[in-house]
Amino acid sequence: MIPTATSVPAAPAPDPTVPAVGRAWPVGVRPSVLRGWEPPATTYGRGHRGVDLSAPAGTPVRAVAAGRVSFAGRVAGKGVVSVELTGTGNPPLRTTYEPVRAAVRKGDEVEAGEVVGTVEATGSHCGTGTCVHWGLRRGETYLDPLSLLPPWLLHRGPSRLLPVLGVPLPS
């Protein structure tokens, strides 16, 4: 089954365990979310422990927030980069991006928006297309990675100005 692109879901409810550290999408400006976060009912249950973002092979993958690279290598034939985010508690939040050809090494410090690698042409679980699977964990608990982004980055569509009470409409 080939996933279909959907519009970005409504901003997730603020999670008190996730500080607002995100500044930008890991790929592109407003990539299509091919598959959203579906938390499992139990620790080992079925679910989707991240979000899949549409991105062609070769697309730069950026750190969502500042941190230290905790892993950059291959897992089950896929390139994976994990970044422990600075100032997010103990245990810290950790973002993971795959399939990614790493441009960083374990121990490297990265800033928000810094390129950590590029999308690989193979290894995607998004059918015939390519995507980046973006995950977020605190310790062993998976969280919705979209919760790292400020709400204005999740908004799609044109901005609309609302009338101000007491101010007449232009003629």
54 pLDDT exceeds 60?
Answer: yes
CB contact burial 37-65 (16+ within 10 A = b; e otherwise): beeeeeeeeeebbbbbbbbeeebbbbbbb
Least confident of 20-34, 77-91, 103-117: 20-34
- Local confidence band at 24 (pLDDT 50, 70, 90 cut-offs): confident
Give first-to-last CA distance, the chain, whole Å.
54
Give me the mean pLDDT over the 49-63 stretch.
Answer: 94
Where do the domains of the chain lie, and which CATH numbers do they carry?
33-38+46-148 (2.70.70.10)
Q: What is the pTM of this model?
A: 0.77
Given this model, what pLDDT does residue 158 score?
58
- Local confidence band at 30 (pLDDT 50, 70, 90 cut-offs): confident
